Amino acid sequence: MRSCFVALCVMLMVLAVSSVGGASPMDSIVWQTYDTFTGSSLNTSLWSENNSDGTLTTGTPNLTLSPTSLSGSGDNSVSITTPYFINQGTFFAADVPFSITSGAPGRGGAVAFDLVLQNSSSWSVIGWANGDNVSIGGTILNGKFFSSDSNSQTPPLILQSTSVMQGQLGLIYSGNMITLYYDDGTGWYQIGTPNSTAGSSGPLTLEVEADIMNSGSLTVAVPGVWVSTPPVPEPSTLLLLGSGLVGLVGWRWRRK
């Protein structure tokens, strides 16, 4: 009888450890609404926009990002960036649900939706993408996948195959480390290796981007952006946003 009781206790302990081990840090964040895009136009106190390669629309219930369609070559993107900064060494987390409402890659092309945290010398990207016989970093990619990319990750692009057209992209910045997550509808999963911002220059900005490489069309709906704590305004925001940070963002097509 005693041995059965001990065995039962051990079993319960194993189950408890398994349950705790299976939880994601994203599940324990106390989320605050940053923006739900319900206004007739983008809230310029919360976002700076780049829609030169497509269109951005807001209104109940979504933000819609639609890069201009391509056929053959090129790279079109539409993005929004927080006009606030996340100071290095602070805690920050972000959660961005999304739905691919239309579009697909053409042959030799890819379409992607990304969440980016970056400064002038460090960047981390969590994304969803769909490729059709497209070469990224020397690898031919086909199909849908979640991806992680950063300035320090080896290999630079880590992929997880998926069949979904909607989900959530997330990240946690803690102790100068950026950790990337995705939710395919079955829970949060970490992807890639954490990226350190130690030694990099300046605070960080958050960006949401839709992108087309070479060939395809894409429309992405985003119901809102949720964060752990709202970013802190900095007086030099406009100066730094104009210093070329936009060139670092996206799914890093130009780096592959």
61/38 Cα distance (integer angstroms) = 6
Identify the pLDDT of residue 230.
59
pLDDT value of position 153:
81
Establish if 1 belongs to a structural domain. no
Sort 138 into a burial class: Cβ within 10 Å, 0-12 / 13-18 / 19+: exposed
Count the alpha carbons within 13 Å of 237 in the hemisphere toward its beta carbon.
19
In a domain, 22, yes or no: no
Q: Quote the pLDDT of residue 232.
A: 57
Q: What CATH code is carried by the domain that includes residue 115?
A: 2.60.120.200
| 51 closest CA partner among 84, 96, 82, 81 | 81
User: 249: pLDDT confidence band, cut at 50, 70 and 90?
Assistant: very low
Give the confidence band of 237 by pLDDT, cuts at 50, 70, 90: very low
Residue 84 domain-assigned (yes or no)? yes
Does 216 map to a domain? yes
**Is residue 2 a part of any domain in this protein?**
no
Q: What CA–CA distance (Å, rounded) separates 22 from 229?
A: 25
Residue 51 lies in a domain: yes
Mean pLDDT, the chain, as a whole number? 83
Determine the structural domain holding residue 234 and report its residue range: 27-255
Domain count of the fold of the chain: 1
pLDDT score recorded for residue 233: 57
**Average of pLDDT values for 39-55?**
93
Q: How far apart are CA 100 and CA 64, in angstroms?
A: 10
CA-wise closest residue to 42 among 238, 208, 247:
208
Question: In the structure, what pLDDT confidence band is assigned to residue 84 with cuts at 50, 70 and 90?
Answer: confident
pLDDT in tens, 129-163: 999 999 877 778 899 999 999 998 877 789 999 99
Let me know if residue 9 belongs to a domain: no
Judge whether 45 lies within some domain: yes
More confident residue, 112 or 249: 112
Q: For 109-137, what is each residue's pLDDT tens digit? A: 999 999 999 998 999 999 999 999 998 77
